[in-house]
Amino acid sequence: MFELLNKCIDSAVGSGASYADARILISKSRTISSKDGDLEEFNDSENMGVGIRALVGSSWGFYATYDLSDSSLIKAGQKAFLIAEASSKVPGRNFPLADVPIVQDEYITPHEQNPFVVSSSDQVNLLVDATYLMKKQGSSVASGRLNFWDTEKWFASSQGHEIYQNIIESGGGISSLSIGDGETQIRSYPQSFGEYRTGGWEVIESFKFLDHTERLVEESSRLLTAPQCPEGTRDLILEGSQLALQIHESVGHAIELDRILGWEAAYAGTSHLQLDKLNEHRYGSSIMNIVADATLPGALATFKYDDEGTPAQRVDIVKEGIWTGVLTGRDSAAIAGVSPGGMVRADGYGRLPMVRMTNVGLLPGDSSLEEIISSTDDGVYMETNRSWSIDDLRLNFQFGCEVGWLVKNGKITDMVKNPTYTGITPNFWGSMDMLAGEKEWVFWGTPNCGKGQPSQVGHTGHPASPARFKDVRIGVRG
Amino acid sequence: MNIWENLIEDFEKALPSDVQCELKMINSTESLTRFANSHIHQNVEEEITDVYLTIHLNGKTKNMNFNITSMKSAKDIIEKALSGIENNPEDITWPGLADKNNSFNGLKEISPEDPDLRAKKVKEFIDQGKDFNAAGYCSSNVSNVFVWNSNGLNSADTATGAFLDGIFRSETSAGSSHIGNKNLNEIDASNVGKEAYQIARESQNPEDIDPGTYEVILGPDAVSTILVFLSVYGFNAKSKVDGTSPIEIDSNQFDTKLTLIDDPFAEGALNFKIDSSGSKKTKTNIILEGVPKSFFHTRRTSKELKDKNTFHEMFGWGDSFGGIGTNLYLKPGETKKDEMISNVKKGIYINEFWYCRVLDPITQVVTGLNRNGSYLIEDGKITKPVGRLRFTQSFMKSLSQDNVVSVGSENRFADSEFGEGILNVPMLHLKEFNFTGGVSG
């Protein structure tokens, strides 16, 4: 494969590019979905192709094709150069690429059972059994989904990188939807849209779907008659998977250097963060410690090298509440004068690598969910995301959860439906005063992070444990 | 295309006689030039040839997709598809293959646009506001789709599209504009740039206003977002099958000023004239003078709801999504923009919505924000730009009877939360819209 990649790269450099890199991918994926005890969808996918990136002056060109013949590879290199040359007609300022070690290496995701070797009937049956059971237990719509990815990547650059990686990811989830008079209520497990990690079939086995069906059905049904979440300002306790999405939206995207530099301004937006405030800006309370760590075993965004050949790293993002780090690529790091963090990835061979969250997580504290609840006089405990929205500076957000529980005088009392909360990023994180510890720290994974044009779907990780936030506006309704 | 003809021949030879088979191929070149900080920073082109296979045998179904490079042979693919199929549960909603009489051929040979032409359009946009910071994209695509099935259906179609979408930013404001056309040459980049620049200039130093219920005038991109949400979560018949759609056919759910039609054969329509079953699409009334007339059906949902198929299966999407219209036109009214503004006592003009998410599909309560140009209108005049507001509002209620004051007289292709080129809409003046938060939360 490296020989093929070098044909492509030589063609781009021979045409006049100052730098070129290329990736060949063989991507396998499997999607299984089930509804009410029936198989709704079974799809196996496999594709293979090359994407090449060429730099001319300060301008990039990217070309991708499924055709790996010699003539096509040479044409691909030339096309990448010609596209970069067209870009250079409306140029930006020149920049060097930040230096990274030039390596030849390989990496395979540690896993016990490759999900494409495990019997597909076992996979189908697990999901069909779970949704059948939920339907029988009274769910209006019982659904489940499994996704598996097996991605082989070969990366080479004109600087001499030659890296092979085989990334294996697995995940899925089940949910029970109850339909009432003009409303729907849902409960999901392990989290809304499923839980995803690097690893094989053992990831799915660890979820033990069948142990959770009865609770999901009972709770989704009970929510129909539960009172509305009260409106007002109260203490908010977030379960780990909801906190993971809170981190994703109000920290993860805000610290992407391409956004901070304005590269995503017209689409995904920019950031409220300004680089000249790095190491000064207070992001949250003193118990807020965020790291971006692509080396965490089993987390969804774990790999050995990113799609620019930069080694995976652990980078401090927020230390004791102070903003200290950003997510970078080789070009954005050079422009901003910071170290490249190995955080650039692409969605398949056909997409341009761009800054992507790795495992951006909140380090655990020294409390526990039990302790947090017992020390709360008047609050709401919310579980499992149902809706999310945040402005294009990543400041003003509103989240809805599947279920809320009133907390009075240190005890969970009533279930409430349609719980929502809203806030402003630094105020919200500044109000975090209790954080559960390592025993409740889970490597939550988000498999559906949209960014870029053409659109790319990224897989990101967000380790988190439950936490409490003081005086949050909750219960917003239309 | 030779690849397609060879593929059909190979699959016909390798296919056991008792197997029902549907084969599709998407061959496309998609090019996109992105700019930010007033220069081109990303510029990409991708050529794909992806193949989608559905096999049905003894009541059981399996889907596979792959690209030409990863495929060893038709025989190998069919063997993989059939392997283990007997252990799958029965596919009780299998609707059968499309009828061969639904075949349609609209294939054309069209070459992709040159990156230099996209760069030229980008420069024309940027040149309209040199004192501001420009960002956006210019894209062009040529897509060919092919569908064959073992019933004898053989269809193909070609679609092209070109879009320019951009913003200008100052320290305190942003303004956006968007245009779509079948042909990149027809895109008037200067005009789009002028509009975005004017909005950005007039939106400088916005003031915060209190949340509450306001009259609103929605620009085409905001209208498009409301309609695309109602399409996906309401008119998509899959949501009706799942019990989560608020749409009731033949009821007076919308304002009588609203008529929404899906017309793949309208002049300038950007998307395919066949659906992914290979069937020729038809013109479909979705809302007629405020009354829902049809869901967007696939073969499966039409079978499950015992309703007539409307041929809205989507290329590249699985059965679990359902279908939506991709050539939607909201019928224009007679009210010009200035007249619309002059009829507002106290309200807000919103150019674009941002990050909208459904709180409950059956009520269609959605939360989101405004961006890229919003103004306060008082006594029929724009009085000042306004800052960020969060709305929490039922999209069903926003278009319900007597809440639409007027419909704009000019349509254009508009962007939306779920993509561009599928909705061609005018502006709308709505009587009430609920804002639940401001800049401070």
Q: What is the pLDDT of residues B201-211, one digit of tens each?
A: 999 999 999 99
Boundary (domain end) residue, out of B196, B226, B256? B196
- From chain A, the residues in CB contact with B361 under 8 A are 184
Question: pLDDT at position B376, please?
Answer: 97
B50 in the same domain as B186 = yes
Question: pLDDT at position B429, please?
Answer: 98
B298 in the same domain as B164 = no
B230 in the same domain as B366 = yes
Rounded Cα gap, residues B78 and B64, in angstroms: 9
Average pLDDT over residues B47-59: 95
B14 in the same domain as B142 = yes
Question: Is B300 inside any structural domain?
Answer: yes
* Minimum-distance CB partner of B43 among A61, A121, A350: A61
Residue to test with chain A: of B355, B358, B417, B439, most A Cβ within 10 A: B355
pLDDT above 90 for B401:
yes
Residue B222 belongs to what domain range?
206-441
* Minimum-distance CB partner of B126 among A63, A90, A269: A90
DSSP three-state, residue A237: strand
DSSP three-state, residue B96: coil
The two structure tokens encoding residue B223: 């209208």
Structure confidence at residue B71 as a pLDDT band (50, 70, 90): confident
The two structure tokens encoding residue B371: 């961006």
The answer to whether B203 and B375 have CB atoms below 8 angstroms apart is yes
- What are the backbone angles phi and psi of residue A18, rounded to the nearest 5°? -80, -20
What does pLDDT average to in each consecutive run of 10 residues of chain A (478 residues)? 97 98 97 94 94 95 97 98 96 91 98 96 96 98 98 98 98 97 95 97 98 98 98 97 98 98 95 97 98 98 98 98 98 95 97 98 98 98 97 95 98 97 97 98 97 96 98 90
Question: pLDDT at position B441, please?
Answer: 62
The two structure tokens encoding residue A276: 């000249």
Residue A6: CB atoms within 10 A of its CB come to 19
Taking CA atoms, what residue in B is nearest to A474?
B441
Question: pLDDT at position A463, please?
Answer: 98
pLDDT above 70 for B155:
yes
The two structure tokens encoding residue A2: 């490296």
Q: Which CATH number goes with the domain that contains B72?
A: 3.30.2290.10
- From chain A, the residues in CB contact with B141 under 8 A are none
More confident residue, B170 or A94: B170
B242 in the same domain as B94 = no
- Which CATH class, in words, describes the domain spanning A2-223? alpha beta
Contact: A47, B320; criterion CB under 8 Å: no
Question: Is B185 inside any structural domain?
Answer: yes
Is the ipTM reported for this complex over the cut 0.85? yes
Rounded Cα gap, residues A423 and A401, in angstroms: 15
- What are the backbone angles phi and psi of residue B4, rounded to the nearest 5°? -65, -45
Question: pLDDT at position A209, please?
Answer: 98
B219 in the same domain as B159 = no
Q: Where in chain A is the domain with CATH 3.30.2290.10?
A: 2-223
The answer to whether B277 and B314 have CB atoms below 8 angstroms apart is no
- From chain B, the residues in CB contact with A26 under 8 A are 70
Average pLDDT over residues B411-426: 91
pLDDT above 80 for B61:
yes
Boundary (domain end) residue, out of B176, B196, B216? B196
Apex CA B402: angle with CA B399 and CA B405, to 5°? 80
Structure confidence at residue B419 as a pLDDT band (50, 70, 90): confident
The overall average pLDDT reported for chain B is: 95
B49 in the same domain as B190 = yes
Contact: A182, B30; criterion CB under 8 Å: no
Boundary (domain end) residue, out of B173, B196, B219? B196
* Minimum-distance CB partner of B390 among A45, A66, A398: A398
- From chain B, the residues in CB contact with A350 under 8 A are 46, 48
B312 in the same domain as B277 = yes
The two structure tokens encoding residue B207: 């003031």
Query: What confidence tens digit (pLDDT) does each residue in B187-242 have?
Result: 999 999 999 999 999 999 999 999 999 999 999 999 999 999 999 999 999 999 99
B171 in the same domain as B246 = no
Distances (CA, A) of A372 to A189, A239, A433, B220: 23, 11, 10, 47
Question: Is B201 inside any structural domain?
Answer: no
B325 in the same domain as B422 = yes
Question: pLDDT at position A423, please?
Answer: 96
Closest to A280 measured CA to CA, from A318, A335, A332: A318
Rounded Cα gap, residues B432 and B438, in angstroms: 17
* Minimum-distance CB partner of B84 among A68, A121, A128: A121
Average pLDDT over residues B139-167: 97
B100 in the same domain as B26 = yes
Question: Is B87 inside any structural domain?
Answer: yes
Residue to test with chain B: of A258, A398, A425, A476, most B Cβ within 10 A: A398
Structure confidence at residue B316 as a pLDDT band (50, 70, 90): confident
B136 in the same domain as B248 = no
Question: pLDDT at position B440, please?
Answer: 66
Total number of domains in chain B: 2
